Structure 1
Amino acid sequence: MRIVRTVVSLLLALFFLLPLSWMLVVSVKDEAMKIKGVLDWYKPPYTLDTYFYVFRETSLLRWMFNSFVVACAVTVLVVLFTSMSAFALSKIRFRLRGFVFVFILAGLMIPGEAMIIPLYQVVKELGMLDSYQGLILPAIASPFAVVVLKSFFDSVPNELIESAEMDGGGLFKIYYSIVLPLAKPAIASIAILTFIGQWNNFLWPFISITSEELFTLPMGIPTLLSQYTKDYVRPMAINSISSLPVIIVFLFSRSRLCAG
């Protein structure tokens, strides 16, 4: 039975890796090569000229830098603020705690698209349109992350918190010395989901950014792909480059999580 599960798992892995491998192979093909069948995509010759062209003639690296800055900043701030909020809701007794949690839960029922217009008006009044601040700050609020982390913090024994308080530990020390290390799997999951979500975010940058030098990848890539609608190689090279950071972050986070 174990052998069957292993074989099935390997087949599923190959099935899901096939589109990725096809994208990578096509991205290193010669644009002038004639393709008569599917197998012709995997036959040599191979070349990196398309990658050199993309790096030299487009603003892809600049857009990738913008996406990386925004995604990293949002991820760090979301993990920081939502973990503190979840810790307060889970382990600190205060009036209206239940109401606050229900209010946060209600935020999950409101589609993000429904808040675009009021959010745009607020950001405009604050003078943060077409800026990094306008891209980062509106994305910090994450009711989903608060709910997930609170549920995880609820599983931490209250006796552990009380013993730490008896030893003279303050709330903030208990938060970062005891609760956060125990919540590493949940925090890693929130960080990965937040990073990928911001890396792929298109709607808010499309509305709030007008300067090309502040474009993120989801905004910039369509402007490049529209020029090469009859080509496969350049779009695949562009998508390969833009996908690489997300794959690296996912593998790094997974290895760190498994090591922990």
Structure 2
Amino acid sequence: MTTAVQSTQPQPAPVGPRGPRRPRGRFADKAGLRTGERFVSPGRIGAIVALVVLAVVWLLPFLWAVATSFKTETAAAATPVTWLPPDGFTTEAYERVLNEGNIPLWTWNSLVTAVAITIITVVVTALAAYAFSRLDFTGRRWLFWGIIASIIIPPQVLIVPLFYEMLTLNLIDTYWAVILPQTVHPAMVFILKKFFDQVPVELEDAARIDGAGRLRVFWSILLPLSRPILAAVSMFVFIAAWNNFLWPFIATSDATLMTLPVGLQTVKSAYGLQYAQVMASAVLAALPLVVVFLFFQRQIIKGFATTGFGGQ
């Protein structure tokens, strides 16, 4: 009786009518293509063209704001509108905004409040999402649905009661008046709970068998596995806190506590409607967000994919 011996030699690629079927294209070997799949195909070309068009449409307003911010006020208000001013570009708008306003202080205030809001929100929402995902307590379902229903409440409706609450606590014109009302994000509780539901319970059971408690399991098991979604949630909260104008404007009247959007608005009001200065202020306010997004864009995309928002 003969015994079949399996060969350990690598099998040759399938051969088609025109030779071996291999991925084609310059970057096919790094694109994860299957054997015989073309890197350049009509579907890929259409997707790339659509993405380029969408990117251009998204970038046009930002590029227009940057171009206008480097124009003189005369060129910015001139008609017909042109991308390149006839008298050339200038930094006059930036100089006026920086000289008339306390940009470093306002930026520091925005940074302090946005970072504090992000940290508190992530801690609170992560603990709440873990409780809804793993703990079984009376009224859990109704409480969770109440949190989901609160997402549809417009923030403007809560301005008056929040102001009276901060006034009662003697927190007006303090950092806490800006920070505390912005730490409530029901949508982030929903997003984190959906992610925690996807984490296998067996990992936590194994840790609990070894003697780990709930908080230790949450800190050592769940949080390390949740870094992408935590980074995405942190970015969403940070951007919302940085761009918020209405509540910091209402909660503070002291110029030393103004955030960057509120402070820049006072500079623009002093000069009236100055298009170049308006665009310069917008660019200065958006620049930190662009830098932060460039550093964390991979985590944001991965967070979208792992929570199902990427179509998976």
Do the structures match in fold with TM over 0.5? yes
Q: Distance in 2 between matches of 1:236 and 1:62?
A: 20
Q: Distance in 2 between matches of 1:17 and 1:44?
A: 25
Q: Given the alignment of the two structures, is residue 231 of structure 1 paired with residue 274 of structure 2, yes or no?
A: yes
Q: Distance in 1 between matches of 2:132 and 2:83?
A: 58
Per the alignment, residue 235 of structure 2 pairs with: 192
User: 2:281 corresponds to which letter in structure 1?
Assistant: I
Query: Gaps spanning 5+ residues in structure 1: where?
Result: none
Answer 1 or 2: higher relative contact order, Cα 8 Å, separation at least 6: 1
Q: Distance in 2 between matches of 1:14 and 1:97?
A: 46
Instruction: Select the structure of larger CA radius of gyration.
Output: 2
Match of 1:39, SS state, is: coil
Q: Given the alignment of the two structures, is residue 77 of structure 1 paired with residue 132 of structure 2, yes or no?
A: no
- Moved beyond 6 Å, runs of 4+: none
Match of 1:108, SS state, is: helix
Q: Which of 134, 138, 147 is the equivalent residue of 2:177?
A: 134
The two structures have a TM-score, normalised by structure 1, of 0.89
State, as a whole percentage, how many aligned pairs show the same letter: 37
Shift of 1:82: 0.5
Question: How many residue pairs get matched?
Answer: 260
Q: Distance in 1 between matches of 2:208 and 2:276?
A: 61
Q: Which of 245, 266, 269 is the equivalent residue of 1:202?
A: 245
Per the alignment, residue 5 of structure 1 pairs with: 47
Q: Distance in 2 between matches of 1:168 and 1:40?
A: 66
User: 1:75 corresponds to which letter in structure 2?
Assistant: T
The two structures have a TM-score, normalised by structure 2, of 0.75
Post-superposition CA distance 1:15-37 (Å, at most 9, x none): 21111111112212244558454
Tell whether the 8 Å contact from 1:228 to 1:235 is kept in structure 2 after alignment.
no
Distance change (3 Å), C-alpha of 1:230 and 1:153 = closer
If each structure's helix is expressed as a fraction of its own residues, which one has the higher value? 1
Match of 1:29, SS state, is: coil
Per the alignment, residue 134 of structure 2 pairs with: 91
Q: Distance in 2 between matches of 1:36 and 1:94?
A: 66
Post-superposition CA distance 1:217-256 (Å, at most 9, x none): 3322322223344532211111111110111222222144
User: 2:234 corresponds to which letter in structure 1?
Assistant: A
Q: Distance in 2 between matches of 1:100 and 1:173?
A: 25
Query: Gaps spanning 5+ residues in structure 2: where?
Result: 1-41, 304-312
Matches within 5 A, 1:95-114: 95-114=138-157
User: 1:18 corresponds to which letter in structure 2?
Assistant: L
Per the alignment, residue 198 of structure 2 pairs with: 155
Per the alignment, residue 29 of structure 1 pairs with: 71
Q: Distance in 2 between matches of 1:40 and 1:108?
A: 41
